[in-house]
Chains A and B, each alone.
Chain A
Amino acid sequence: MTTPRVERFRPGFWGIVLGHLLVAGALVALFRFTRGLGAVTNLSDEWPWGLWVGFDVLCGVGLAAGGFAITTAVYVFGLKRLKPIVRPAILTSFLGYLLVVVGLLFDLGRPWNIWHPLVMWNPRSVMFEVSWCVMLYLTVLALEFSGIVFERLGWTRALVIQKMATVPLVIAGALLSTLHQSSLGSFYLIVPGKLHPLWYTPLLPVMFFLSALAVGLAMVIVESRLSARAFGRSLEMPVLVDVGRALLVALGVYGAVRLLDLARLGVLAETVSASREAAFFQLEFGMGVLLPMVLLSLPAVRRNARRLYAAALLAVVGFVVNRLNVSITGLEGSQGGHYVPAVPEVIVTLMLVGIGFALFGLAVRYLPVYGPPAEEPEPVPAAEARLVAAAVRT
């Protein structure tokens, strides 16, 4: 087996940053697992959930929604033009979910019991449902991702079998994602008295699903841009323009449902009140939904890679603000006080993000992520063999 490029290991700026984060993260882990969560976090009886749930889990899972959105578009709806982004999207989702689990190992009080939902059931629990969905979806993603590895290894037979399972896997992935993306919102259905009315709605699961769908698309654009800068590998502009258009529609649907729901619940006036909550809502909605919508509706933005990236990035940041608003800002009123993450919490989160980027980079470098499937999708063994042989020869 050949490696595409053998280079002397020479860490760049980001490599050095990641190295520091890994060391710091290991130290945090040491303290966290010997002295308890209180030693490294600002979590408390008033704030049982903080940055690790609000960002690492709620945002992590949401930002990884691109995988199911794109695979469904390509394999179920037959949007073949999007084929080139299937693999990057699967890779992002797979890494995203893996890192969510790593984040959970930090956050759970007794992480060695993480498997308990497998045998100790509680079907009335949203957390139980999310646990199962995430475990199953991680399996689906691993199987989807395995195709990329099989191709790299030249395991033609395995690749053929894997390809036959594509459509069932995609449909299972879409269903599992729909369930747990929405259920992350359902977590908060049980706290009507605690969560601020700007975020509490019986439609929380719908809001979480729709916004995850939008941000999944935004992430595809963001990643493509970052890959282009880092590895010179990116997507063709026409594909990105299509994703940008889809993002506009997804944001539009989400924004409309959100506003109609606020109006229905009679809290539309709250959005412009002088409260802290209103300010954070405006940040989330104005910057993360309305502004990208305005930008994406301009052809001059949609057709320019850099501007498209900026618009998508706004949607991503707005999404993050939304999840933090639900999990932190929206609870400050009832909890009477503020939660600000401790430095070690931030370190772990940054470390996870850093690991994500690094693994993505490694995968792009050593696996056929942005390449071969430009060929036709037919799973003909001979064609695959030729393809793999060609890849191995070069």
Chain B
Amino acid sequence: MKIRITVNGTDHQLDLDGETPLLWVLRDELGLKGTKFGCGKGLCGACSVHLNGEVVRSCSLPVRYADGATITTIEGLRTNGKLHAVQQAWVDEQVPQCGYCQPGFIMSATNLLAKTPKPTDEDIDHSITNLCRCGTYERVRKAIHRAAGVSAPP
């Protein structure tokens, strides 16, 4: 089917199987490899992207549901070449280990901060449901608090 999506500010018109998960459209059709495949069932969150301002797990979202949507991926977070405050906090706190799950965490964290600019620990507990096998959770929490301190108003 024909699909129109806007990804990181660029419009794309695609003709493909509408059941294809958004993840594989991003990775294989658009070449945006920053969004990762981890579990294929929406359990781990490595594939998290923003769709019309909400975090979705793109591995489990058929692209036909994204027709007409505005999507942001990890590659789209920079503005004017500058890292997003959350990405900068991730660098400052040296959050990643293997790094594979981190784009998903960062997409979840940016969405949390857009909605709750000064999240409590409890807010973080409820919102950051991604999995990290290396165990970077403690620094993820610190980096979100750091970004909340320096985030420009949304």
Q: Do A and B bind each other?
A: no
